[in-house]
Amino acid sequence: MSIGTLYIVAAPSGAGKTSLVKRLVETTPGVAVSISHTTRPPRPSERNGEHYHFVPMATFEAMIASDAFLEHAQVFGNRYGTSRTAVLAQLETGQDVILEIDWQGARQVKALLPDSLTIFILPPSRAALRQRLSGRGQDSAEIIERRMAAALDELSHYAEFDYLVMNDDFATALDQLRAILIAQRQRRAAQLERQQELLQALLS
């Protein structure tokens, strides 16, 4: 069985990354999103083990000490991390895995797993990004400005990624994301594992 591909998907807040990845997984067989560990409390709609693994700070720090994470980061006072064991186990079954992390996490994972592919989601314009960040209607102007500054900082690292997908039209961006996965699955190394018997039969 061939080993799955690890995809790292990053984007500034408001670029639509989560919606795109969710729809991609729903409509593309053989791909799943890695479930991160976090120290933040769950929101009312979130379930442990489905949206995140919610753990106490002491547990998270013990996992860091035991080198259990592919990457980990602190965001707005909360800790987030990707389990090394869980991701590698999924990949070994032949499943493709997506990590939704920021550029710092992407850099950490790429250093450990250089065969992983990185994808950055771009907003169509700065104005559209600000509108999306403001459109949630639940944050103060100060918070929106802070998120805008963080988004622009994230955007400044686009050149570190293998692929850029601009999310202006959702359906088009989704097709482009799916095309990256489909193309990767047709690479010679992957097809040699999947189609070994066919290739031998064709050339015998």
Q: Which residues are annotated as a binding site for ATP?
A: 11-18
CB count, 10 Å around CB of 90?
A: 17
Q: For Cα atoms 181, 182, 185, give the angle at the middle one, nearest 5 degrees.
A: 85
Residues making up the annotated binding site are: 11-18
Q: Name the β-bridge partners of 32.
A: 97
What DSSP state is assigned to residue 160?
A: G
Query: Up-side HSE of residue 124: CA atoms within 13 Å toward CB?
Result: 9
Long-range contacts of 47-56 (CB under 8 A, 24+ apart): 53/83
C-alpha span between 185 and 181 (Å, rounded): 6
Smallest CA-to-CA distance from 165 within 1, 8, 26 is with 8
